[in-house]
Amino acid sequence: MRGHGPDRTTRAARATVLRAAWILAGLLLVLGLSGVAAFQVSFGQALYLSIVTMTTLGDTGLRVHGGAQELWVSVTVLSGIVIGVAAIASLTGFGWADYFETLRRERMLQRLQEHVIVAGGGRVGRRAARELKVARLRVLVIEREESLVEELEAEEIPCLHGDATDRAVLERAGLARAGGLIAALPDDAANLYVVSLARDLRPGLPIAARAAELRAAELLQRAGASRVVLPEISAGRNLAAFLSRPTVVELLEDGSVEEIRVAAGSPAAGRSIAQVSASGFSGTVAAVKREGRFLSGIGGDTIIESGDILLLVGDPERLAQELPRLIG
């Protein structure tokens, strides 16, 4: 999904259509006026004869006499043939194929709802997009390097070719309908601008940002980032966790842990953990987070409320099958 607004292909195709329309209108005007002189008929009749003769739809009832009339008919028929050949060549050319592909992509963008926008398709952004796909979340990557866009689309990761620091690009990416944003650009200043812009456009949007330096992380938090990650610190924590909490790391890596938010109207809302388990759900509710705090001492009699965040542990395949029924 490339370009800022209508891309170059779209604009070129529209310009071609407009230019062709003007040429056709001019040609019909010339043929109409010359037809008036050649056949001594009204301009409307001459215009009708021009269209019917040019498209070779059939007998017009004309009786051609003299060189001027023969020349008019010959020029009109040849004009129709040339226009027909040019139209076929244009419709089968790559420009029109790209134009219709652009329209299809635009419709896809407009249908996106509750998706996660990833600003930046480099190593960090690509990894985040892959993880979001594994988590069965809708994702859209904004990337300005065309080669990276092609690589991401080869992995079937939807992309928008553009600059994430451009307000129009963020709006085109559906920021107003997005469920979250990840600022994963390689430059701290660019990430800071993206976070500030997104926070201004969507005050309550969850935003995660990447920072290369500690000072940048502080600025990103002040700008409105919900969570800031420093790759070096995160890598150090993961390495330490592999030795200090290997079972936890294993659970997270093989997909045995899932996180869901209980929406209003969900089958789980208003029911106890025991009732949810008795309904056929095989996972275990390991933790419940409510109003920003984890509940202590949860058990089978703990009532699940709408807005709660549940941490579930279970078989990855069965969780994938059962979560849609639990969420509703």
DSSP per position, 313-326: ES-HHHHHHHHHHH
Q: How far apart are the first and last CA of the chain?
A: 32
Q: Which residue in this structure is represented by tokens 């689309």?
A: 153
Q: Can you list the alpha helix ranges (DSSP code H) found in the chain? A: 8-39, 43-54, 66-91, 94-111, 123-134, 146-154, 167-172, 188-201, 214-223, 231-244, 246-253, 273-278, 316-327
What is the β-pairing status of strands 116-119 and 180-183?
Answer: parallel
Quick one: pLDDT at residue 4? 42
Task: Spell out the per-residue pLDDT of the chain, length 328, in tens.
Answer: 544 444 555 666 666 667 767 777 777 777 777 777 777 777 777 777 777 776 665 555 666 666 776 677 777 777 777 776 666 656 555 455 566 667 777 888 888 889 999 999 999 999 999 989 887 889 999 999 999 999 998 999 999 999 999 999 999 999 999 999 999 999 999 999 999 999 999 999 999 999 988 899 999 999 999 999 987 777 777 778 778 888 777 766 666 777 888 888 888 888 888 888 887 777 788 889 988 889 888 888 999 888 888 888 887 777 777 777 666 6
- Cβ contact 213:187 at 8 Å: no
User: 311: number of CA atoms within 13 Å, CB side?
Assistant: 12
Contacts of 235 (CB under 8 A, 6+ apart): none
Cβ-contact 315, 295 below 8 angstroms: no
Cα–Cα distance for residue pair 135/216, rounded to 1 Å: 29
DSSP state of 177: G
Predicted confidence at residue 210, as pLDDT, reads: 92
All domains of the chain in start order, with CATH: 8-94 (1.10.287.70), 112-236 (3.40.50.720), 255-327 (3.30.70.1450)
- Determine the Cα–Cα distance for residues 183 and 125; give it in Å rounded to an integer: 8
Per-residue pLDDT, 292: 84
Q: Tell me, letter by letter, the H, E, C secondary structure of 114-176.
A: CCEEEECCCHHHHHHHHHHHHCCCCEEEEECCHHHHHHHHHCCCCEEECCCCCHHHHHHCCHH
Query: Which letter, b or e, does each residue of 97-106 get, where b requires 16 or more Cβ atoms within 10 Å of its Cβ?
Result: ebbeebeebb
Q: Which residue has the tokens 């170059």?
A: 8
- Quick check: 204 and 196 in contact, CB under 8 A? no
User: What token pair was written down for 75?
Assistant: 């020029």
pLDDT of amino acid 226:
93
Give the predicted TM-score (pTM) of the model.
0.59
